[in-house]
Structure 1
């Protein structure tokens, strides 16, 4: 199966300068575990629930510290034509649960480990 068959189109984002408190509110409101971090409409990282937990553990001020301060900057991505098993393997190898999905140079959505588990469970 291909990523294009299971990913979530559209990318939920935050700005690099957004305070962590706003990032957490947005994740909660949208019921997602990660947001793409943008700087002038360019994706520069991804911030996840794990990153927010790390911020809390480090006693970061959620009003003062920004998304960029705790975002993962080494960005792994998938393409719409990638095989879902390959995407899952890359996630496992990198220890991550979300991959932005690209078509050409544009990020068009996200695929999560939950999406890939659903594929394996329901097929």
Structure 2
């Protein structure tokens, strides 16, 4: 199974913030949208990603005053991404080994076309497992 299949089932909408936006506004976006990460974009260019972990770390290091600073001082700059043709197994491995929970999905032109979370993968795998179990059950019943 590929990333494309997940995007087609969940949708391609992403939440993003500008690099110069105040961190407090980005945190509000995370909370209102009930997401664990937002992409940091300048126009259509991906500059970074801001996750809940980034926010927790900066608050622990700098305290509440960090919320007045710009997102670009807190975001993760070296963003690992995937393509629509990557397999679910390969991105699960990347996420597990790298210990992060969100992967931007880029097309061949390096344009952002979606965002995959570990939650999306778990949901997909559970649905796939349930489908296999039903098929096996139906097969055994008909034998």
Please tell me the TM-score bracket, short chain as reference. over 0.9
The aligned residue for residue 52 of structure 1 is 55
Alignment of 1:36 onto 2:39 = yes
1:17-36 maps to which residues of 2 (within 5 A)? 17-36=20-39
> Is the CA contact 2:21–2:71 (under 8 Å) kept in the aligned structure 1?
yes
Structure 1 residue 40: deviation in Å?
Answer: 4.2
TM-score, with length taken from structure 1: 0.92
Name the CA distance, whole Å, in 1 between partners of 2:52 and 2:66. 13
Name the SS for the 1:96 alignment partner.
coil
Name the SS for the 1:38 alignment partner.
strand
Alignment of 1:15 onto 2:9 = no
The aligned residue for residue 82 of structure 2 is 78
Which structure shows the higher helix fraction?
2
Find runs of 4+ consecutive structure 1 residues off by over 6 angstroms.
none
Q: Which has the larger radius of gyration?
A: 2
Name the CA distance, whole Å, in 1 between partners of 2:80 and 2:100. 9
Structure 1 residue 41: deviation in Å?
Answer: 3.3
Instruction: Give me the CA root mean square deviation.
Output: 1.3
TM-score, with length taken from structure 2: 0.80
Cα shift readout 1:84-117 (whole Å, capped 9, x = no counterpart): 1101111111111000011112101100001111
Name the CA distance, whole Å, in 2 between partners of 1:51 and 1:60. 13
Q: What runs of 5+ residues in structure 2 fail to find an aligned partner?
A: 129-143
Name the CA distance, whole Å, in 1 between partners of 2:115 and 2:122. 14
Name the SS for the 1:99 alignment partner.
strand
Q: What runs of 5+ residues in structure 1 fail to find an aligned partner?
A: none
> Is the CA contact 1:98–1:112 (under 8 Å) kept in the aligned structure 2?
yes
The aligned residue for residue 6 of structure 1 is 6
The aligned residue for residue 102 of structure 2 is 98
Aligned length: 123
